[in-house]
A and B are shown apart, each in its own frame.
Chain A
Amino acid sequence: MSVYYSKEHEWVRVEGDTATVGITDFAQGQLGDIVFVEVPEAGRQVAQGGDAAVVESVKAASDVYAPVTGEVIEGNAALADTPELVNSDPEGEGWFFKLKLADPGQLDGLMDAAAYKAFCDSL
């Protein structure tokens, strides 16, 4: 199991050919209190870099992009009633959606934890 990060502040946790996607702790900190999350439904095809979910905080509404291409297996239904999970546990209970990884090669273009930390420090 390994975790990858995108420059758009999404994380991807890969187990076999299943990728779980959410937004990073840095992203939730920048957004502030999350008040609404819209996750994709199972069966939807999402392309790397394309819109996949929507997150709304007291400050702003933002698109969440798919860091990798694939078919959505499940959206995190818990976020509908408890969007605060994204604030309290962004890289755990606050996951957004799971998808079936179409091209594992795309993961090579993402960052590991150390590289992502360096990227955030540079912002």
Chain B
Amino acid sequence: MTINQSGWKPTTPEAGETEGTTFTGNRALMLEEPLLFEIGSLDQTGVDFADVPGQTSRLAGLERRKDIGLPGLSEPEAVRHYTRLSRQNYAIDLGLFPLGSCTMKHNPRLNEKVARMPGFADIHPLQPVDTVQGAFELIHKLGEWLVKLTGMHSVAMSPKAGAHGELCGLLAIRSALEARGDKREVILVPESAHGTNPATAAFCGYRVEDIPATAGGRVDLEALKARLGPDVAGVMITNPNTCGLFEPDMIAISEAVHAAGGFVYCDGANFNAIVGRVRPGDLGIDAMHINLHKTFSTPHGGGGPGSGPVVFSEALTPFAPLPFVEKTGEGAYRLVEEENAEDHHASSFGRMVAFHGQMGMFTRALSYILSHGADGLRQVAEDAVLNANYILRSLDDVLDAPFGFSGPCMHEALFSDKGFAEGISTLDLAKALIDEGFHPMTMYFPLVVHGAMLIEPTETESRATLDQFIAALRSVANRAKAGDQSLKAAPIHAPRRRLDETLAARKPMLAYKEPVQAEAAE
């Protein structure tokens, strides 16, 4: 076993505490883990290669002259290092993850099995198209389901994630406006929208103007109507919005925007709350991205790639990006690209990505859709909403729910820090949740709520799991209201105590530096 060389202790004891001190710094099977550089040595190597006999260098004097400076470790040493670190992590496979579907929701194992089928996993985008007809069929079929579920007219499968999908939608809107010779400069973004929306609009060259929220956390329809005019290209609206609320005026909003000659972009990140229940096409939406890594459960939080197909109304369809898969006959598909788009898709705004999209996410999302079926997908939305409302109503007697008065929430329950004792913050409560064995919820977002705590349980959690989480949160919330100062010290049971986030942000140390002593000894 490697003895702790870093000097760090999992829980450095407070003055007077003797508990938790061991010779190694480990706590039973919770192993203290130094950095790779502290375990390995720059003078050793884990693998020895014999010199190649009779070798003549063909590097023309470009050989590396200095040591590369990586520590040498054997394979088991390297494996243990990362496995030990992984044990200090919190993951959806360990427990409830109240950050929600955007970061973590259960990824059914069936999806993983399908994604690993060699016919889907071991293909290349530059392969001859007649050797990948099955993959094209899968992309096409998934696209058909996305169009059907959203009640829209067409879909672009290539965008790589939510914000990329937003860009795709706005580029289509801009192309449609330019095609009719209409120069409009403003995109309206309500306060309840996702933070990426104004960034996308600005990136597309639009001026962004805010639309205020009502006291009920929804878009102020009258303020929106008052601002509409010939300079407004469109509105970007998140529905359900970032307060976890459905926008009940959506049809009236769409009608007003259309009457003023603009387009409606919907941020579909929260589609998981309404899939199978509401078709965005019926709400007058012109473009909406769908986060496959959220609604359709493709892995994301662990670093998996996102995927953000965009569905379009009939008005925007001619401007959708290239390339896309087109069905040419029974079981026959082709790729529509620049070379063959002239005859029937000449108005496309162009290409956003090199190839066809995130194939590995497409296989997983289609598996999810087909294994759930229409009734199952409807239940996904219903259970996501039911679970969030269960949390909202189980805790609104102890935590302030700023929009609780306005009726049920959608897939997320939102609380504020109102009622906490002086000096106790949302951050303190979140750190105490770590001690209780839960990952904290989204904090300080949305910005319209003071000390916001946004909880998204997702659809897969059982009532027993939700009850455990609620009991833990109730306990720390009561401590926050009572002014329990020990919250300021939380977490006390985690591998690391509270880190200095301010110092980390102001003076980040992103690379390993050898200790000064070692340098002096050289």
Contact = CB atoms under 8 A, between A and B. Distances in A.
Interface residues of A, number: 10
Contacts of B506: 35-36, 83-84
Q: How large is the interface on B (under 10, 10 to 19, 20 to 34, 35 or more residues)?
A: under 10
Contact of B502 (A35, A60, A62): A35
B346 interface: no
A36 B444 contact: no
A35 B505 contact: yes
Interface string B435-475: 00000000111010000000000000000000000000000
B331 to A, nearest CB: 51
Interface string A71-107: 0000000000001100000000000000000000000
A103 B444 CA distance: 37
B505 A60 contact: no
B501 interface: yes
Contacts of B447: 60, 62
Nearest to B425: A32
Contact of B444 (A33, A56, A60, A83): A60
A32 B36 CA distance: 34
Contacts of A59: 443-444
Nearest to A63: B198
A25 B443 CA distance: 23
Contacts of B444: 59-60
Contacts of B502: 33, 35, 58
A12 B270 CA distance: 41
* Residue among B443, B445, B501 with max Cβ neighbours from chain A (10 Å): B501
* Residue among B443, B444, B501, B502 with max Cβ neighbours from chain A (10 Å): B502
Interface of B: 443-445, 447, 501-502, 505-506
9 contacts: A33-B501, A35-B502, A35-B505, A35-B506, A56-B505, A58-B505, A59-B444, A60-B447, A62-B447
Given A35-B506, A56-B505, 4 more contacts: A35-B502, A36-B505, A59-B443, A59-B444
Closest 8 CB pairs of A and B: A35-B505, A33-B502, A59-B444, A58-B501, A35-B506, A58-B502, A60-B444, A60-B447
